[in-house]
Amino acid sequence: MPRLFSENVPIYLQLIELFKISVITGVYRQNDRLPPVRELAEQYGVNPNTVQRAYSELEREGLVQSERTSGRFLSIDASGIEELRKQISNQYIGELFERMRRIGLSPDQIRQMVNDWKEEEG
């Protein structure tokens, strides 16, 4: 079933984020063979060139390695996965703070709201 993508961000960037989240959550592990381009394109209902672009960027970032006759493999180790988790988390926190600043909240107000939320959630 095709996944619905946001119109505000290029699809290949959204695929990269989905891939990184899959790595962080353990869907893919070090040295796992990744699905072929056409398979992912069909799964998400996108053009194969879009998946290829995402894979190329992941290779450039050092997360994926291509082997001519065998396909693509996850090339990140446990410490790299932890670093990736930290990068994604910081990105999400930055986006949260930016959105809340846009509605007029100060950093102190945002921090207080986060602390209040944390207490309510337990």
With a threshold of 0.75, does the pTM exceed it?
yes
Structure tokens at 23: 């790595």
Q: Which CATH architecture has domain 11-76?
A: Orthogonal Bundle (1.10)
**CA-wise closest residue to 61 among 87, 32, 100, 28:** 87
Question: Would you tell me how many other CB atoms lie within 10 Å of the CB of residue 15?
Answer: 23
Question: Would you tell me how many other CB atoms lie within 10 Å of the CB of residue 61?
Answer: 12
Q: Please give the helix or strand (H or E) that residue 61 lies within, else none.
A: none
Structure tokens at 9: 């961000």
Delimit the domains of the chain by residue range.
Answer: 11-76, 79-121
Q: What does each of the 122 residues of the chain score in pLDDT, given as a tens digit?
A: 455 788 899 999 999 999 999 999 999 999 999 999 999 999 999 999 999 999 999 999 999 999 888 899 999 888 999 999 999 999 999 999 999 999 999 989 999 999 999 999 87
| Nearest-angstrom CA–CA distance, 115 and 76 | 33
96: helix, strand or coil: helix
